[in-house]
Amino acid sequence: MRKWFFHSLPLQARQTDILQIFSRQDILKTDPTQITGLTLINKALEFESMTPDKSEWTLHKQKDNPPRLVRLQQLNVLLNVFITETFNTNDIASRLDSLFKGQFIMLRDSNKYDNLFKLMDKVIASSNNRLKKLNEWRLDELQHNYIDIIKFKKIVNKASTHNSGIMEISYPYFYSVILTDKISSKLDTKEIDDFLSLVIDPFGRTITKEKLIQDYNYPVDDVYDIDLEWW
């Protein structure tokens, strides 16, 4: 099940109401063992949500915060593997910024994205619009779509975790949770996730965590186990 932490209730409610455990059938988060381009963007967005201040995106600044430090160490490896265009840059913060802004796209040969461009054409054609394709795709156009979808994914992530801070709740406060959860539980990001994964890694590779540990010194730790230890 998902991690549910205590949600503060008004003192009066906590004195007069019997708190109930709000149980879920969600799967407890664990670090993926099959790593793709999507893993990189998911971990990057998670780290950004935990650490909004970009000046804190350094290993030194996070040395006393294991949950964030290990995440940043993971990101450093995944950036080296999937975004080789910025491999010579030791500044993790600037590399993450490049990831979010899609700047790495402009450093690549457009031929790498031929299959993705065909998929994008197919999606547009299936929308029953009357738009005609006049020119071949340009990298800056791909970058625009990528940035827009990244922005949307941030919104969806926030909505889908709206109730993720609740462990116990009393009757009067349960109504809004039910309504919002009905919507958030139906959010499906598969299509945009597939797109983001192929933008980051046009070859669609899947690399095992074991191989990353062996070849790239990827952290062995499961970040969600560390979260529990430091909660």
Cβ proximity of 38 and 196 under 8 Å = yes
Q: What was the pLDDT predicted at 7?
A: 44
- Give pLDDT tens digits for 145-170: 999 999 999 999 988 888 776 667 77
The conformation of residue 168, written as its DSSP 8-state character, comes to E
Note the Cα 40 to chain centre separation in Å.
7
Residue type, 223: V
Q: What was the pLDDT predicted at 70?
A: 97
118-125's contacts with Cβ under 8 Å and 24+ in sequence apart are 119/198, 120/145
Q: In terms of Cα–Cα distance, which of 34, 33, 35, 59 is closest to 47?
A: 59
Residues facing residue 168 across a β-bridge: 21
Phi, psi of 27 (to 5 degrees): -80, 135
Q: What was the pLDDT predicted at 167?
A: 66
Prediction pTM value: 0.84
Note the Cα 183 to chain centre separation in Å.
20
Phi, psi of 121 (to 5 degrees): -60, -40
Count CB-CB contacts under 10 A for residue 215: 11
Tokens of 186: 């139906």
Low-confidence ranges of the chain (pLDDT < 50): 1-16, 18-27
Q: What was the pLDDT predicted at 3?
A: 39
Whole-angstrom distance, CA of residue 149 vs CA of residue 48: 16
For the chain, what is the total number of helices (H) and then of strands (E)?
10, 4
The conformation of residue 18, written as its DSSP 8-state character, comes to P
Q: What was the pLDDT predicted at 186?
A: 87
